[in-house]
Chain A
């Protein structure tokens, strides 16, 4: 069989092979077959075309994770445009910035977000078309919105686009060190090469039931959605509230007979501690995949002990490359092991090497920065030519190597081990957080004179984020006020755990904030 070159081609082919199979299940909301999902996304494709969306454009998705959101994503891809999913829980201001930044032609949005979003867009002077759904869940709101629009303005049926390998499939925004999120541009070739690698390693079957735990603006969703729907499998969409609650989640994994689980380690750690896993039958579960941050060994050991049957894989890779190394965790995890497991070996569609600060390859066994090249590596950051240029180093043969910023070491057996970061980026519950973006958010408070943020290791949470502040005048704002202010200006996962107020922050001899000293003050 000839491999399709476009991301949505996988789903289109699967829908032709197994039209009556369940494509998506949204517990409590409903389910949809491949045939129905194909038809729904075709209708949205035509509607978006009617709104002026053309191949090469961008279209935003501003809604709760749902059957409707998956239909939106395929509808967008089928027009030949790239989808731009945002976190519906993030401030409207941030989401409007993202949509403005990549100049989306249209946004598929839930009604409850519309008013605030329109207001923020107005401030920025952007006016994309909004395709408004009454809600999201089960696919009914999408169907209704399309019916209503068709009754008012019928649109012609257009064909599904066949983009070129380098055309963009989606843009995922991640935290930017200057205080503004930056858009990672991923092409069809990037996504397709990754999806094919997943097929090779995980051998999905139509009988598989994948979890969709990560939100769609998070790159774990690429595996969930596009790998499951390539193979005619069923994707079980886990609602955000269930996804955070270990006991409900534990029941759901068993009841839905999930066979392939993928998430950040933090929720797996909570499942191991609070999930009461002994109550249920997990015989369907064959793969547990995790990525996004280090899995503390103590919780991984507890999880493997309670669920001994599945294979466990540690997947590693930034949004810019998606997964680039992988490691199968040998189970059970020995009692005496305390150091985290390696991130493993390079995926077959990519190449990795370790370089020093001058970009020269170091010999195996020496520390250095992991750099990655190959078909999975991003095209660059949206409209940030300088940052994009800085993200790569060129090889002698003209190869572009993406600099991950992660310091690693290669063991004699060829497995890489993660050691730390080169810069001020941290991982929190799987999310990338630039401490500089938090500082930029804190500086927007009128009473804040100085702000500095550090991350310190924490056994339970991985890291704790601590903010050190000094105040302009008078009484400093209360803790509740600072948290509320942050909630208005930053995504929730960026809100510091601790705030402390000082007369002035310690400085270095060159009058910069002395971060070393802050770590000692802690």
Chain B
């Protein structure tokens, strides 16, 4: 399940926020918010995607940088919500 979550996130972020970027450049540890890839509205869209796609609900504090700054962090968040 971790691989699926990872791939879905990667596809979504590339398509929505990094048009024409080489997919190899986006790794599990690429900083998304602190690295300027996601602004506040993009973060909101990502949160809506996460909630819809993985059937979880994020609390206000879970939309913080520490939970969403990398694909690895988001995978952990989704996994903890699912279990």
Chain A interface (Cβ within 8 Å of chain B)?
A: 239, 241-242, 244-246, 248, 266, 270, 274, 429, 461, 478-481, 483-484, 486-487, 492-493, 495
Contact = CB atoms under 8 A, between A and B. Distances in A.
A161 B50 CA distance: 52
Nearest to A269: B41
Given A244-B40, A487-B34, A480 B21 contact: yes
Interface in B29-83: 30-31, 34-37, 39-41, 43-44, 47-48, 60-61, 63-64
A483 B37 CA distance: 6
B48 A484 contact: no
A244 B36 contact: no
A269 B45 CA distance: 14
Interface of B: 18, 20-22, 25-26, 30-31, 34-37, 39-41, 43-44, 47-48, 60-61, 63-64
B14 to A, nearest CB: 10
A481 B31 CA distance: 10
A487 B22 contact: no
A493 B30 CA distance: 20
Contact of B35 (A242, A274, A483): A483
A461 B25 CA distance: 27
A508 B31 CA distance: 39
Contact of B25 (A266, A478, A492): A478
B36 A492 contact: yes
Contacts of B44: 244-246, 270, 274
B21 A245 contact: no
Contacts of B47: 245
16 contacts: A241-B60, A244-B63, A245-B47, A248-B63, A461-B41, A478-B25, A479-B20, A480-B18, A480-B35, A480-B37, A481-B25, A483-B35, A487-B35, A492-B40, A493-B39, A495-B39
A245 B63 contact: yes
Contact of A241 (B21, B34, B61): B61
Given A274-B48, A478-B25, A479-B18, A484 B31 contact: yes
Contact of B64 (A241, A274, A480, A484): A241
Of B26, B39, B48, B63, the most chain A CB neighbours within 10 A belong to: B39
B50 to A, nearest CB: 12
A484 B60 contact: no
Contact of A484 (B22, B36, B63): B36
A246 B31 CA distance: 24
**Which 3 residue pairs spanning A and B have beta carbons closest together?**
A487-B36, A483-B36, A484-B35
A242 B62 CA distance: 10
